Amino acid sequence: MTKQKGNLIVISGASGVGKSTVIAELLKKRNNICFSVSWTTRKPRDGEIHGINYFFASRNEFEHMIAEGEFLEHAEYVGNYYGTSKSQVMKRLEEGYDVLLDIEVEGAKQIRTNWNKAVFMFVIAPSFAELENRLRARQTDDDEKIKKRLARAKEEYKEIPAYDYIIVNDTVENAVKEIEAVLTAERCRKKERLHLMKEV
Amino acid sequence: MTKQKGNLIVISGASGVGKSTVIAELLKKRNNICFSVSWTTRKPRDGEIHGINYFFASRNEFEHMIAEGEFLEHAEYVGNYYGTSKSQVMKRLEEGYDVLLDIEVEGAKQIRTNWNKAVFMFVIAPSFAELENRLRARQTDDDEKIKKRLARAKEEYKEIPAYDYIIVNDTVENAVKEIEAVLTAERCRKKERLHLMKEV
């Protein structure tokens, strides 16, 4: 069987929904997937390694890469750039890996414009009440901040119609199972496998 | 969480590809799926039970059902009618089951016309040489008949572009895994889950 190219997988979800835990479990379980390491102009923190946590670049270098169209998506937060390298993603896809991007709804919009065949998933909590419970359980935010996060989540939820799949994170195990099913199913899509029909 | 309706699942594949074994395994493993029992005007064979193997009807009854638009798809083979009841399928879908139809490419075409949201899968062998091996291994057909089956398979393969997914039956286990992934993924589709967003 000819080697099958991977798919670009975009996962978004509200803060507090447990997306990072789900993604960590997914990467442990599945070996034909890799996580896309972002580029940033932020300074490395203690213990952060170039190529593992981020690819670190100067502002000049980053802006040069933007000008060259090197990014599938990029954004500026609190004075620092963050972006996803198109050539790195393409290399991995060619090697047969699914490439996973954990990005917000704005980044996902850029991917929709710059890339024509990504799979878009949005991770939700079973309910908004449950999302609030999870944010409170983290004990990292005060009431004010939790309200802001919930308000932002409601805004982000409005973008869901642009996504292909909704993953319900009721338990990590179930959410991982759903994402794995989507990854496998997307590789069974007719257009991904028509090369198998060449002999006919 | 509101109960989710099931999906109508159409599975086609060339004779000899091992589709029946795959479907039998799938039905054993998964409990939210049921197999659609066809109606027929063929006489029951020894041991066949009405409602289990087929629903048996007279030619008159069957033609009345055709006239009433009772069938999602129907066909006549060797002087007997075979068909899938629309109301039975709808009842099961409403109950939350995925309903599985094992039908040929012509029946699948009718489903595409008469139903707007089925999932279409086509089961193939890893190669045409392997399909031929499997037909020979059954030892039920002579050379002439095997050639005819392969020629017919080639014709059927031309319909694959109208299907959503291609399932490769290299091993029964893998094929079942792929079909299960598709069933789970289709239940994660945004349009199937937008009701979860009502509260936003």
Transcribe A96-150 into DSSP letters: T-EEEEE--HHHHHHHHHH-S--EEEEEE-SSHHHHHHHHHHHT-S-HHHHHHHH
**What interface predicted TM-score (ipTM) does this complex get?**
0.88
Closest CA to B80 of B57, B103, B101, B102: B57
Question: pLDDT digit string (tens) for A81-138?
Answer: 999 999 999 999 999 999 999 999 999 999 999 888 899 999 999 998 999 999 898 8
Give residue A140's pLDDT.
Answer: 84
Pairing of strands B8-13, A39-40: unpaired
CB-based contact B72:B114 (threshold 8 Å): yes
- How far is residue A83's CA from residue A61's CA, in Å, rounded to a whole number? 12
Residue B195's pLDDT band (cuts 50, 70, 90):
confident
A197–B188 C-beta distance less than 8 A: no
Tokens of residue A118, six digits: 């990504």
Q: What is the mean pLDDT of residues A37-55?
A: 94
A1–B200 C-beta distance less than 8 A: no
CATH number of B8-197: 3.40.50.300
Please report which helix (H) or strand (E) contains residue B35, including its range: strand B33-35
CB-based contact B66:B74 (threshold 8 Å): yes
Residue ranges per structural domain of chain A: 8-197
Instruction: Provide CB contacts within 8 A for B46, sequence distance 6+.
Output: none
B197–A188 C-beta distance less than 8 A: no
Q: What is the mean pLDDT of residues A171-186?
A: 97
Give the residue on A whose Cα is nearest the Cα of B169: A188
Out of A160, A178, A194, the one facing B184 most closely (by C-beta) is A178
- How far is residue A84's CA from residue A143's CA, in Å, rounded to a whole number? 33
